[in-house]
Structure 1
Amino acid sequence: MLTEQQIDAIADELAEADRAHSVIPRITARYPDAVVEDSYAIQGRWRDTQIAAGRTLVGRKIGLTSKAMQHATGITEPDYGVMFDDTVYRSGDDIPVDHFSNVRIEVELAFVLKTPLEGPDCTLDDALAAIDYAVPALEVLNSHIELEGRTIVDTISDNAAYGAMVLGDVHKRPDEIDLRWVPGVLSRNGEIEETGVAAGVLGHPATGVAWLANKFSQHGARLEAGEIILAGSFTRPMWVSRGDDVSCDFGPMGTVTCRFV
């Protein structure tokens, strides 16, 4: 495992890479003995410095919850990161591409909690009962660590590669729609690039919310009412560049759009 000094140094590197929109060498190439616990410690140290600097935490992202994403990354277990208020966009917004590194888009559902949720024995039914509503979303990936050869340790350390989210306008309670069958048809500049259904996320997109509550319980923490939980992609990531118009048709949950400028 890494020392406290090494954890601090890597967290500082990632904070600077975030400010400079740059990429650093793989952590696991430099510290081959680093483990998952180290990566969450690095992420936590970075998170705390961001909160101390005045940013406001609004939720959590869950990643690598679908076979599509696991195959795309070569990483086979879910992970999580934090989301701040200044990373939330609305459908139709322009997104400055220079604010991110290795920019890609994923198709997801986000959930807003109406009550706290805690493990260690949280089930899908518990998660559904705690959810106020679901909303269609796009996640902007932002990777500050070189992509080739990275492991889950690298990804988690880099806040699970989270950059921003784009939220749609349609809200659905879990009892209003079968969330498993919400579709996603992702297009770039009018051409369909990726398709999928939300059941690709652990069989039900809210399963990840229960997983996260149970994961948090290992550290004596819980998910709080009002938090946004981004549940994981059910398509492969799509690369985007400046000038790209992105649109995703979520069927009964509407369409989410954005443009990279």
Structure 2
Amino acid sequence: MISNQQLDAIGDRLYEAWQARMPLDPPSATHALTIDDAYRIQQRMVARRIGQGETVIGKKIGVTSKAVQDMLDVRQPDFGILLSGMAYADGAAIPIDTLIQPRAEGEIAFFLKERLQGPGVTAQQVLAATRSVAACFEIVDSRVQDWRIRIADTVADNASCGVFAIGAERVSPQGLDLAGCAMTIEKNGEAVATGIGAAALGHPAEAVAWLANELGRRGIALEAGEPILSGSLAVLVPVKAGDALSVRIEGIGACAVSFV
């Protein structure tokens, strides 16, 4: 059995890899990690960033779509913590040298009007508690060399969080077909990925309910006002300096980022 001291040491190495922009070998290659072990590592990595002045501003769900599961060969969702240093405005130019091996995901961001905490949270309760939704980009990034990740590796690496940007337009989910809404991502003016809301665990609100219940097991709530990213609706799109991306989600809005 691996000790908490060893788990914290792995978290420190992932933090240092993030700080130096230098990827490392998968933690699972040298340690038999359970999912709970991996979340302990994640907590350590996040704590190191908080110790340097960042604050928790939201949560994200990862690996919710079959397209992403197939791409990464990871077969279950996970979650990560969104920190203040990850947030960019709609239309922002993101410095590519702050990332290691970035890929873009088009997602739906939820903003709650009331606190939710599992267990027992349903998709219907999520929708009733949601003030607004928006189109967003999550730019995932891995501190693991060449994205050679198993589920324990991405969990330990804070669900491969990189940075994110949320569209300026916010709309009420009431009356929207969030499962059926169509999404298109354009890269340098050309469509490169499409998807629908149902890609996220059948319905984006189901993904948020999964998160509320998974966090609830750990005594953590989804707080009113914080962004919750519901998971990618399509394949991951690799990006490099000079790329300009836009995402549009039917009935919800758009978001754009570029890389410099």
The number of residue pairs the alignment matches comes to 260
Q: Distance in 1 between matches of 2:207 and 2:101?
A: 25
Matched with 2:87 is: 88
Alignment map for 1:66-145 (pairs within 5 Å)? 66-145=65-144
- Looking at structure 1, the residues matched to 172 and 42 of structure 2 have their Cα atoms a distance apart, in angstroms, of 32
Per the normalisation by structure 2, the TM-score is 0.96
Aligned to 2:250: 251
Letter paired with 2:169: V
C-alpha contact 2:110 2:230 (8 A) present in aligned 1: yes
- How many percent of aligned residue pairs carry the same amino acid? 38
CA distance in 1, matches of 2:94, 2:102: 11
Deviation at 1:124, TM superposition (A): 0.5
CA contact (8 A) 2:170 2:253 kept: no
Cα RMSD, aligned residues only: 1.3
Letter in 2 for 1:244: D
Is 1:224 matched with 2:219?
no
Structure 1 portions without partners, runs of 5+: none
Q: What is residue 4 of structure 1 aligned with on the other side?
A: 4
More divergent stretch after superposition (67-76 vs 244-253):
244-253
Instruction: Find the counterpart in structure 2 of residue 23 from structure 1.
Output: 23
Equivalent AA in structure 2 for residue 17 of structure 1 = A
Rounded to whole Å, the distance in 2 between the matches of 1:199 and 1:90 is: 26
Aligned equivalent of 1:159: 158
Give distance in 2, aligned partners of 1:106 and 1:220: 28
What is the rounded CA distance, in whole Å, between the counterparts of 1:169 and 1:179 in structure 2?
18
Q: Does the aligned pair in 1 maintain the 2:182–2:196 contact within 8 Å?
A: yes
Report the residue type matching 1:44 in the other structure.
Answer: Q
Amino acid at match of 1:124: A
Give how far 1:188 is off.
1.1
For residue 221 of structure 1, report the CA deviation from its aligned partner. 2.2
Moved more, 145-154 or 156-165: 145-154
For the 8 Å contact 2:12–2:48, the answer to whether it is kept is no
Distance 1:206 1:165 in 2: 20
Secondary structure of the residue aligned to 1:206 is helix
Deviation at 1:107, TM superposition (A): 0.7
> How far, CA to CA, are the matches of 2:65 and 2:147 in structure 1?
20
Cα distance in structure 1, aligned partners of 2:147 and 2:117:
36
Distance 1:166 1:107 in 2: 10
Is it true that 1:174 corresponds to 2:182 in the alignment? Answer: no
The alpha-carbon deviation at position 147 of structure 1 amounts to 3.5
When the two structures are superposed, what TM-score results if normalisation uses the length of structure 1?
Answer: 0.96
Once residues 244 and 198 of structure 1 are traced to their aligned partners in structure 2, the CA distance between those partners, rounded to angstroms, is: 25
Shift of 1:239: 0.4
Whole-angstrom distance in 1 between the partners of 2:56 and 2:17: 20
Q: Secondary structure at the match of 1:181?
A: coil
SS at match of 1:37: helix
Unpaired segments of 5 or more residues in structure 2?
A: none
Which letter maps to 1:177? L
Residue 242 of structure 1 aligns to a residue whose secondary structure is: coil
Letter in 1 for 2:190: E
CA distance in structure 2 between the aligned counterparts of 1:197 and 1:106, rounded to whole angstroms: 13
Q: For residues 197-212 of structure 1, what are the structure 2 equivalents within 5 Å?
A: 197-212=196-211
The 5-angstrom pairing of residues 44-83 of structure 1 reads 44-83=43-82
Q: Which has the higher mean CA deviation after the structures are superposed, 147-156 or 110-119?
A: 147-156
The CA distance in 1 between the partners of 2:142 and 2:166, in whole Å, is 21
Letter matched to residue 49 of structure 1: R
Distance 2:123 2:252 in 1: 21
